[in-house]
């Protein structure tokens, strides 16, 4: 069904590594044009250069998802380059787990700013274009943690649950414009996400869990491909996946 991906213009946040990088490579190989956003501009510039050298179409723009203007610039750059924006993947995220009694206020604020506001800003940046086009697809990244909270993950889980609610509210609001919405909730996937944990004991436990359970980020890219590949009248609203061996 990849014929429904060829020629689509896709904006991806958090594209410098992990889920975003794997998805950019996968969709570019299927013929999509990709606009890559991330703070690590050297990484996305190198990825865009690699994809373009291989015959794909890619641009890169330094993007901090906690700044709405950055998201607008990224989306506008895609529209200027290719005339439209078909898909945004709001992927950028942080996971600084810690028990609440450690009162990691800075971690809390950063997690809320990136995981909730970053998704909202991505939605806000594409909606004017997609409403004008009367078409589009907004893909938001939640987590299995958005469905099941565990000790030490309260703030992270709360932000990912918020993504679920934002996505469902968005789904209902954009029906008149032919816009599709998908929220993808991954389990343990081998990415840089555990590196955002600032508490050494928590980081060690999560590292061990990921080493024994995490699957490759290409699993996420295939889930995105599945949602995007459906005919225009099919709206895949939610995908939950995890490693087969992951219990929770």
What does the pLDDT read at residue 195? 85
The CA distance from 54 to 225, in Å, is 20
Question: Of the residues 121, 156, 177, 210, which is catalytic?
Answer: 156
The CA distance from 183 to 149, in Å, is 18
Q: Structurally, how many domains does the chain consist of?
A: 1
What does the pLDDT read at residue 196? 87
pLDDT digits (tens, 9 = 90+) for 23-32: 999 999 999 9
Residue 247 lies in a domain: no
pLDDT digits (tens, 9 = 90+) for 103-125: 999 999 999 999 999 999 999 99
Phi and psi for 63 in degrees, rounded to 5? Answer: -140, 125
Overall pTM > 0.85 = yes
Average confidence (pLDDT) over 223-245: 97
Average confidence (pLDDT) over 203-218: 90
Verify whether residue 156 is a known catalytic residue.
yes
pLDDT digits (tens, 9 = 90+) for 134-191: 999 999 999 999 999 999 999 999 999 999 999 999 999 999 999 999 999 999 999 9
Q: To 5 degrees, how large is the angle CA 218–CA 114–CA 217?
A: 5
Residue 248 lies in a domain: no
Residue 246 lies in a domain: no
pLDDT grade for 99, boundaries at 50, 70 and 90: very high
The CA distance from 121 to 104, in Å, is 24
- Going by C-alpha positions, the residue among 221, 217, 225 that lies closest to residue 5 is 225
What does the pLDDT read at residue 120? 98
1 pLDDT above the threshold of 60 = no
Which residue range forms the structural domain that includes residue 226? 2-241
- CATH number of the domain where residue 7 is located: 3.40.50.720
């Amino acid at each position: 069904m990849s014929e429904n991906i060829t020629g689509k213009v896709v904006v991806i946040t958090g594209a410098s590594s992990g889920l975003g990088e794997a998805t950019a490579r996968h969709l570019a190989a299927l013929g999509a044009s990709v606009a890559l956003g991330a703070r690590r501009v050297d990484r996305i510039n190198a990825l865009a250069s690699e994809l373009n050298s291989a015959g794909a179409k890619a641009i890169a723009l330094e993007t901090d998802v906690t700044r709405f203007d950055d998201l607008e610039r990224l989306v506008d750059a895609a529209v200027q380059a290719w005339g439209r924006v078909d898909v945004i993947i709001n992927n950028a995220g942080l996971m600084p787990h810690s028990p609440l009694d450690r009162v990691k206020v800075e971690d809390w604020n950063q997690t809320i700013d990136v995981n909730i506001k970053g998704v909202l800003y991505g939605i806000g940046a594409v909606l004017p274009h997609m409403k004008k086009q009367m078409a589009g697809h907004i893909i938001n990244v939640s987590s299995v943690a958005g469905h099941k909270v565990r000790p030490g993950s309260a703030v992270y889980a709360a932000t990912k649950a918020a993504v679920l609610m934002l996505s469902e509210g968005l789904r209902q609001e954009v029906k008149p414009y032919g816009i599709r919405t998908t929220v993808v909730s991954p389990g343990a996937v081998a990415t840089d996400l555990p590196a955002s944990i600032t508490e050494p004991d928590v980081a060690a436990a999560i590292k061990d869990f990921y080493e024994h359970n995490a699957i490759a980020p290409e699993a996420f890219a295939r889930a995105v491909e599945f949602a995007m590949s459906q005919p225009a009248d099919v709206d895949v609203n939610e995908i939950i996946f995890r490693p087969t061996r992951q219990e929770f």
